[in-house]
Amino acid sequence: MSEAIARQIDPSQMKVSDEVAIQISQMNKWYGTFHVLRDINMTVNRGERIVICGPSGSGKSTLIRCINRLEEHQQGQIIVDGTELTSDLKNIDKVRSEVGMVFQHFNLFPHLTILENLTLAPIWVRKTPKAEAIEVAMHYLRKVKIPEQANKYPGQLSGGQQQRVAIARSLCMKPRIMLFDEPTSALDPEMIKEVLDTMIELAEEGMTMLCVTHEMGFAQAVANRVIFMDQGQIVEQNNPKEFFNNPQSDRTKLFLSQILGH
């Protein structure tokens, strides 16, 4: 189990509303003839923190990439914040500006400074005045504890710092939902902690979070639900306590024994 988690918070203490943030029903997706997501049904309430895990190739990244339509699904329904995802472009840009996404490889814009990375979308998508956008950006940079890097370029930062900038960049759009696609997988062990700390802080503030990760310590610390996927389908979901101590399916038991076994 990861030793990266600095403090333990009690996930059950954090409040979850009844309001639905994401509703996925009978969703199917194919890559060519390969059936990558099969009959996905899932409801996420506002304020929920969900960790999605599973072996590689199980479709977990594809699933969260479908939620802001970086991937298109072919069957079923995805409703994000009351808007159904269809090929209507106006809907998609609206949904995307409400849903923040953090990538495995950060995907910061290397030709812009950190500050410009953070203010770009607020200025061009939200039409925020520049001075206000800078103020908001500095606020989030302080929050991820790297305000002094504002005028550097991404290439000059460490991986952990870059990922924290990427989180701050998403937050500058004031999203209602945050998606994390293996945010710590490309980081050195020393840097995983600083990114997880930022994510935990975010969880404590009640952000709706969907997180694909192998950091089981993080799952135990902040998740109120863990979803296990294999072969493109949801195999098991439960609260972290039950999920780790009392897994039901054989696939889950095998997976847990493999990643927690040493």
Partner 1 sequence: MNTSTSTFVRTEMLPEQSPPLTEAGAVKWVRENLFSSVLNGILTVLGVAVVAYIIVGIAPWLSRSVWNAGSLSECRQIIAATWGEGVTGACWAVIRERWPQYLFGFYPSHLYWRPVLAFALLVVAVAPVLFDKLPRKMLWFSLVYPAVGFWLLWGGSVWVPVTALAGFAIGYAAAKLIQPVAGTILATIAAVLAPVLWWLFLAGPVADALHSIMPIALQGVRSREFGGFVLAFTIGFTGIAFSLPLGVMLALGRQSDMFIVNKLSVGFIEFIRGVPLITLLFTASLLLNYFLPPGTDFDIILRVIIMVVLFAAAYIAEVVRGGLAALPRGQYEAADALGLDYWKAQRLIIMPQALKISIPGIVSTFIGLFKDTTLVVFVGLLDPLKGITDAVRASTDWKGIYWEPYIFVGAIFFLFCFGMSRYSMYLESKLKTDHR
- Spatial neighbors of 131 by CB under 8 A, at least 6 apart, are none
- Work out how close the CB of 233 gets to partner 1 at its nearest, in angstroms, rounded to a whole number: 25
Binders of partner 1 among residues 11 to 70 (CB under 8 A) are 68, 70
Count of residues engaged in binding partner 1, rule: CB under 8 A? 29
164/231 Cα distance (integer angstroms): 31
17/101 Cα distance (integer angstroms): 22
Q: Establish if 72 lies at the interface with partner 1 (CB under 8 A).
A: no
118/109 Cα distance (integer angstroms): 10
Binders of partner 1 among residues 114 to 153 (CB under 8 A) are 120-121, 124-125, 153
Among 23, 28, 97, 238, binds partner 1 (CB under 8 A): 97
Among 27, 51, 66, 99, binds partner 1 (CB under 8 A): 99
Q: Establish if 109 lies at the interface with partner 1 (CB under 8 A).
A: yes
Which amino acid makes up residue 145?
K
142/225 Cα distance (integer angstroms): 30
219 in Cβ contact with 184 (< 8 Å): no
- Work out how close the CB of 91 gets to partner 1 at its nearest, in angstroms, rounded to a whole number: 11
115/149 Cα distance (integer angstroms): 8
- Work out how close the CB of 161 gets to partner 1 at its nearest, in angstroms, rounded to a whole number: 14
User: Which residues lie near partner 1 (CB under 8 A)?
Assistant: 68, 70, 89, 93-94, 96-97, 99-101, 103, 105-111, 120-121, 124-125, 153-156, 169-170, 173
